[in-house]
């Protein structure tokens, strides 16, 4: 990581395609985060017979004002990771350092002030709003919980928030069912903004919306980031959406981070075969480009996370699989030969170029002797 922290919040937010170095201080540092869910047998005398390794040894940093996109297929652990950062789930091991403070072992009461600065926007705008509460209450609840201002000030703040997210402040007394999906997601965003957080974790925030409404919400999130210098962790399975909102992108597979790079690097010169397969699998809304596209189709399904493949977890489906290396030695997430700064890949045989046809990817690779350390 280049130590380029002199840029202010405002300019960092305004840089649309900035590299990782052009943002502010490190706001969130995640070190070796692990979350295992125990698998038990027996009703009275429960015995642990295994563990779902939902997140296994994931490390990354997020800088002030940037957006880190997290992509991966369902079951790769991206949502679990988001919840561990929020401490909605207790991490099994590892550290989450937010704004210089290790929040992994904080007590509930000590955690409360931190929660003001860490907010979450959920996927399903139908399930995440209490149907029996009015919008004013839903949006104002975080302010009330944190005991900020008088009742009147709170009401004014809520109306201001509704306006910020593009809703009519007069809708203060309506119930969630009176709103459409896109409007509900706006309510969820207003609620997340209520106490001026620093970091917002968006967990599939636009997945349930129609494309035209999805564009409205994505634009809104970008505008808010510029205005308030927000930092986002944007978890999604849609690679196009992630590309649109993110500055840097992390790709996860079966609980592991397999590649992390700036948006530009990741989408134009992916190094991990899994990233390449993901990119090549996205249908392109342009018939001409679509026909020219060279697809890498992965065989089979994502393996069971209770009993993940040894060493590199992707080796069972990888077109570059080499016996004796990939199934023996777990590749580290480090900078590999031929990749740019801050471009980390967990693969013994990173791709030499992009785009590549399936045959080129499959070609027996020459093992790298000593990878360049980051």
Cβ atoms of residues 62 and 27 within 8 Å: yes
Minimal distance in Å, beta carbon 142 to another protein?
27
Token output for 205 = 């925030």
Minimal distance in Å, beta carbon 287 to another protein?
5
Token output for 173 = 């007394």
Minimal distance in Å, beta carbon 216 to another protein?
5
Nearer to another protein, 281 or 310 (CB): 281
d(CA 270, CA 339) in angstroms, rounded, equals: 9
Minimal distance in Å, beta carbon 226 to another protein?
11
* Nearest one of 267, 292, 273, 301 to 360, comparing CA atoms: 273
β-strands 118-121, 67-71 pairing: unpaired
* Nearest one of 54, 96, 94, 57 to 74, comparing CA atoms: 54
Assess whether the previous peptide bond of 355 is cis (omega < 30° from 0). yes
d(CA 251, CA 259) in angstroms, rounded, equals: 5
CA distances from 230 to 14, 197, 199, 236 (A): 11, 8, 6, 18
Nearer to another protein, 268 or 307 (CB): 268
Minimal distance in Å, beta carbon 298 to another protein?
5
Cβ atoms of residues 204 and 212 within 8 Å: no
Nearer to another protein, 73 or 330 (CB): 73
* Nearest one of 343, 261, 351, 260 to 58, comparing CA atoms: 260
d(CA 239, CA 243) in angstroms, rounded, equals: 6
Minimal distance in Å, beta carbon 241 to another protein?
5
Minimal distance in Å, beta carbon 184 to another protein?
11
Nearer to another protein, 83 or 244 (CB): 244
Chain residues that interact with another protein, rule: CB under 8 A = 16-17, 73-74, 180, 182-183, 210-216, 218-219, 222, 237-241, 243-244, 263-264, 267-268, 277-290, 295, 297-298, 301-302
Minimal distance in Å, beta carbon 155 to another protein?
26
Nearer to another protein, 67 or 325 (CB): 67
Nearer to another protein, 159 or 183 (CB): 183
Cβ atoms of residues 55 and 35 within 8 Å: yes
Nearer to another protein, 198 or 317 (CB): 317
Nearer to another protein, 302 or 326 (CB): 302
Token output for 59 = 């490390």
Cβ atoms of residues 157 and 140 within 8 Å: yes
Nearer to another protein, 28 or 251 (CB): 251
Minimal distance in Å, beta carbon 220 to another protein?
9
* Nearest one of 71, 70, 61 to 20, comparing CA atoms: 61
d(CA 159, CA 249) in angstroms, rounded, equals: 34
């Amino acid at each position: 990581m280049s130590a380029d922290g002199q840029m202010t919040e405002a300019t960092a937010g305004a840089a649309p395609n900035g590299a990782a170095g052009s943002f502010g201080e490190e706001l969130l540092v995640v070190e070796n985060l692990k979350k295992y869910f125990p698998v038990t047998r027996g009703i009275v005398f429960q015995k642990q017979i295994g563990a779902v390794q939902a997140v296994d040894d994931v490390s990354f940093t997020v800088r002030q004002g940037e957006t880190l996109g997290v992509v991966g297929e369902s079951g790769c652990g991206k949502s679990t990771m988001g919840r561990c950062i929020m401490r909605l789930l207790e991490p099994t091991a590892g550290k989450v350092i937010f704004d210089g403070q290790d929040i992994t072992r904080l007590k509930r009461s000590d955690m409360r002030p931190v929660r003001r600065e860490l907010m979450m926007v959920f996927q399903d705008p139908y399930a995440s709003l209490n149907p029996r509460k009015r919008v004013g209450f839903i949006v104002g609840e975080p302010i009330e919980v944190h005991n900020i201002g008088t009742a009147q000030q709170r009401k004014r703040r809520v109306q201001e928030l509704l306006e910020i997210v593009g809703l009519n402040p007069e809708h203060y007394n309506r119930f969630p069912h009176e709103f459409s999906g896109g409007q509900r997601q706006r309510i969820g965003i207003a609620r997340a903004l209520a106490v001026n957080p620093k970091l917002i974790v968006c967990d599939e925030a636009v997945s349930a919306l129609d494309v035209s409404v999805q564009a409205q919400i994505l634009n809104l999130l970008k505008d808010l980031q510029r205005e308030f210098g927000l930092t986002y962790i944007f978890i999604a399975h849609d690679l196009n959406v992630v590309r649109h909102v993110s500055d840097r992108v992390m790709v996860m597979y079966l609980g592991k981070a397999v590649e992390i790079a700036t948006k530009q690097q990741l989408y134009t010169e992916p190094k991990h075969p899994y990233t390449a397969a993901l990119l090549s699998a996205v249908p392109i809304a342009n018939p001409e480009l679509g026909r020219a596209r060279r697809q890498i189709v992965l065989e089979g399904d994502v393996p069971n996370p209770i009993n993940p493949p040894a060493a590199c977890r992707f080796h069972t489906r990888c077109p570059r699989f080499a016996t004796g290396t990939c199934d023996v030695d777990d590749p580290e997430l480090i900078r590999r030969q031929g990749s740019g700064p801050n471009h980390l890949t967990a693969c013994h045989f990173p791709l030499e170029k992009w785009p590549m046809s399936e045959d080129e990817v499959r070609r027996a690779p020459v093992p790298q002797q000593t990878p360049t350390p980051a």
